[in-house]
Structure formats: C-alpha cells, structure tokens
Structure 1
Amino acid sequence: MSTLARGLAGRTAVVTGGAQGIGAAVTERLCAEGCRVLVLDKSAEHGRAAVKRWREDGHAVSLVVGDVVDERTVRAAFAEVPAGWDPPTLLVNLAAGFVFKGLDAAPEDWRAALDPTLIGLSLVTREFVAHLPPDPVGAAIVNMASISAHIAQSGYLTYNTGKAAVLGFTRCAAQELAPRGVRVNSVSPGTVWNANNERYHREVLGLDRATAEADPEHGGRFLLGRFADPAEIAAPIAFLLSAEAGFITGTDLPVDGGYLAV
C-alpha cells in the first residue's frame, strides 16, 4: 500500500459541529490532510468566520448552517456538496446536546440532551450512507462519544446517557454497514481545553488552565496530569478515518490521558 493510499488527500468529508472547538480542530486537520470538507454547524457566526479563514488559507471548505435534528437541513447539506467535489466518503459526527442534569431533568432537558446526540447522529449518518457511491472505497465514520459514556458522574445523567448511547449506535451501525465496506468507530475524549471548558473553569471555578491541571480533582484525575488540546482529539479521528485503520470497526478509542485506566 502506498503512502498516498494511506492518506486522505482528495477525499470529501462531512463534519457536523465542525466550526467550533473540537469540530474546528477536526476540520483543520482534515484540511491539512488535503480533504475537501463540508461543515454542518448551527452557528452562522462561528461557521462563516471559520470558513472564511480556512478558505483564505487555501483550503476547500463549504458551509451549511443548520441543526442536525432538522431533516430538511440534513438533506440540503448533502444536496449542496459543491460541484467538482467527489461524493462524501468520510463522516465525523460531532454535534451533540450539552445538557447536564440528574433525575430532576424535565422532558425538555432530555430532548435537548438527546435530540442532537442521537436523532441528529442518526439523520446525518442515514443521509451520508444514502449518498455514498456504489463502491465506497475507504468509507468511514467516526462518532463523538466521551469518557462520560463509560462512567457514572453525579449530575450528568442526561449527558452520560446520550454519550453511552453513541457507543451502542456505533457498534450497531458498524455491523449494519460492514457489508458495504463502511467502517464505523467512535472516540471518547477526556476533558479538552476548548473555549467552553476554559470559560467554565475561569468563571465558575475561578481556575486558569495551569491551576486547574494542577488540581487533583481536575487535571490530577488524568494519568498525564493535564487536559487535552483539541488537536489531540482531531489526530486520532483522522487516523480512524484513514486506511491505516482499515481493520478497525465497531470500536471506541479512548483519548483520555489515562483517565479510564484508574
């Protein structure tokens, strides 16, 4: 197998939630790999600013603004793949509901937590599969789970339930799509120092990154003694999409600094 065959150059990828945080890091990584990237993000502000920057850097990036739980938006996203691009054969499902509630969660809390994480995930994946070419060589999907999918956390019932369901969806989709040669995996990040986590640590906990990472209840819970940078999550996602991971499907890759090992 040649180096080119192992890479992602020239492929078309779809990234949901691809304009912010980990999603932006994934888009940047795929652009660096030579992919054309269709970003589906519900934030017009973040999406347009990010796409403008990537295009100025010479990357082929297109944006669809909308919510993954809306069927019309999802259908439109795949119908709007720019002319001259190959059909998407790579998909990264990052859009999710970030609602942190316990048993006191109301029905609307559950819908806000689970609709993007599960219904949106299923709608995008279904549409992606429907638009695959007849012989989708190297087709691969990576879903975003979390260390929270593997553990119990007080007050996180809504979030952890959704992320645990992502693991089940990944295994079942991998079985269903294997006959077509489509691989499906997930990643489970630990705490990532992105804009949202930085805001939480600074405004709620009064901690900057160095102080938070030195705290045994925060960074100290990870064997590596720190949080991840978004690029450190994007790299294993790119690996799972590539032919280097050609015999990996139906599994979850913890990218957690050793959190789940202790």
Structure 2
Amino acid sequence: MPYPLFNLEGRLALITGSSQGIGLALAKGLAAHGAAVVINGRDRAKVDAAVAELREDGYTVHGSDFDVTDLRVVKAGVDKIEAEIGAIDILVNNAGMQFRAPLEDFPEDKWQLLLQTNISSVFYAGQSVAKHMIKRGRGKIINIASVQSELARPSIAPYTATKGAVRNLTRGMCTDWAKYGLQVNAIAPGYFKTPLNQALVDNPDFSSWLEKRTPSGRWGNVEELIGAAVFLASNASSFVNGQIIHVDGGITASL
C-alpha cells in the first residue's frame, strides 16, 4: 500500500503518447501506485502491446488509439473513455516528437508537425479533459515540458519553441482552471535515454559532452521521472499549481 498522500487507488489516468518511452514509464509508475491507466497512441499494435505488458504485471489498464493532433478526434476519444471506462482523474500530456535541422533550412511541413504534436495536442487534450474535470470540481493535469522550455541548442529551435509554449500553457491552464479545483503542472525532463533521443545516445561525442555538461554526470533513465509524476498526480501536491518541475540532473542549474 503506497503512503496515503501518494496513493492513487480509485483514480483513472490517461497518458497520451504512452505506448513507449517516457509515456510508458509514467503509465507503469502511476499503475504501480494504484491508478488504473489508459494507454494512448496512434499505432494500435503498439498500444495493444503496451496494454498487454502492463496487464502481465497485474495492473488495470485500457487502450485507446486516437490521434491527439486532431481536436475532433481527441474530443471523441476523451468522451468515449469517460462514457465506457470512467472519469479521467489524471491527464498526462506526454505525446511529442523531435526533428533536427538547421533553422535556416528547417522544412515548413516539419514546423507545422511539431506545432501540432508538441503544443496543439496539449491544448486539445487538456481542454477536452478539463471540461469533464471542471464539472466534477477536481482533476490533475501534468504536461511534459523539457529543459528546452528554458534552453536552446543548435538544430532544434522549433522544438525549443514548442516546449517553451508548453511551459506557459501550463501556467495559463492553472490560471484559468485552478478556481475549479484543478491542479495543472509540468515536468521538464532533461536528457533521458528514450527512442526520441536514441541518435544522441548513440553519438559518443554528444554523450561525452552531455555527461560533462550535466552536474550528475550521466543520461537520465525514464524510471527517474516516475516520482515527480506520482507527486503531481496525488494528494501530496494539492496546493501545487502552475509549476514546472525540472528533472534534469542539474543541467538547468549550472553553466
């Protein structure tokens, strides 16, 4: 039995983009603390595989394959979960993507795709779920920001722009929805070993630079994000609102 402040039993969590990487790790972490979870993604086969993996561990888990970059699809998907599975108590806006290119040559179609995937999806899912939460007078929304919400690096300026927008949308959601009993916060991961970062993980020059640049001296492991997510999803954070919690090994604290 988890410590009562962090006990998520009886709660339902929807995690977008959770068939792999950070989203899947957070789904496992919330489930381990008692929550029922809904795995979301566009690829039904990947969603089914993630659901099967969590069910093998004895967790209560459901699958919902809808595209978070389409507002009408998101609304329908959220309404279906509410009607057929249960009230969404926790939303983790995790879906995201990366594309690297020099800014002067950055393709316009990739710019639009980054905007839709990294920031529009947060607005679409946040608004769709919040409408239900507001009626109930409670709810937890956790947006996944980034150290790139604060810092830039060559070849990822559009990604940096989208994650800066997630940071301030989190604050805006808090400002509008806290009065209805919602807590809206963000986790800003540093550099973690994920499929999104695999090319960097495999680059010895980049990994060496990162290890020297990060006070903790290493890449993060996705399981190290679970504690912050459980805190923000639980009663332990009942008066925490509009905050961005960096889980980054100290990279934003040191030159």
Match of 1:232 among 214, 218, 224: 224
2:53 paired with 1:61: no
Asked if the contact 2:190/2:248 (under 8 Å) is kept, the reply is yes
User: Which structure 1 segments of 5+ residues have no match?
Assistant: none
Could you list the runs of 5+ residues in structure 2 that have no partner in the other structure?
none
- Secondary structure in 2 matching 1:131: helix
Between the aligned partners of 2:176 and 2:82, the Cα distance in structure 1 is 29
Q: Secondary structure at the match of 2:130?
A: helix
Inter-CA distance 46–200: structure 2 relative to 1 (3 Å threshold):
farther
Q: CA deviation at 1:175?
A: 0.3
- Note the C-alpha offset of 1:79: 2.7
1:19 maps to 19
- Output the CA distance in 2 between the equivalents of 1:154 and 1:4: 44
Match of 1:255 in 2: 247
The question of whether the paired residues in 2 share the 8 Å contact of 1:14 and 1:91 is answered with yes
Contact preservation (8 Å) 2:193, 2:201: no
* 2:124 aligned with 1:118: no
Q: Tell me the TM-score normalized by structure 1.
A: 0.89
Give the letter for the 1:245 counterpart. S
Q: Which has the higher helix share?
A: 2
Q: Partners in 2 of 1:247 and 1:222 — Cα distance?
A: 30
Is the partner of 2:104 in helix, strand or coil? coil
Q: Distance in 2 between matches of 1:125 and 1:83?
A: 18
Deviations for 1:136-194, whole angstroms, at most 9, x for unmatched residues?
34x11110111011012111111000000001100011000011010111111111012
Residues in 1 aligned to 2:200 and 2:189: alpha-carbon distance in whole angstroms: 17
- 3-state SS of 1:134 partner: helix
1:145 matched residue in structure 2: 145
C-alpha distance after superposition, 1:45-102 (max 9, x if no partner): 3211110111222211111112101223312322332777540111100001312232
**TM-score of the pair, normalised by structure 2:** 0.91
Q: 1:242 maps to which residue?
A: 234
Structure 1: how far apart are the matches of 2:137 and 2:7? Answer: 16
Q: Which residue of 2 aligns with 1:136?
A: 137
Structure 1: how far apart are the matches of 2:105 and 2:206? Answer: 29
Equivalent residues, number:
252
Read off the aligned partner of 1:16 and give its amino acid letter: T
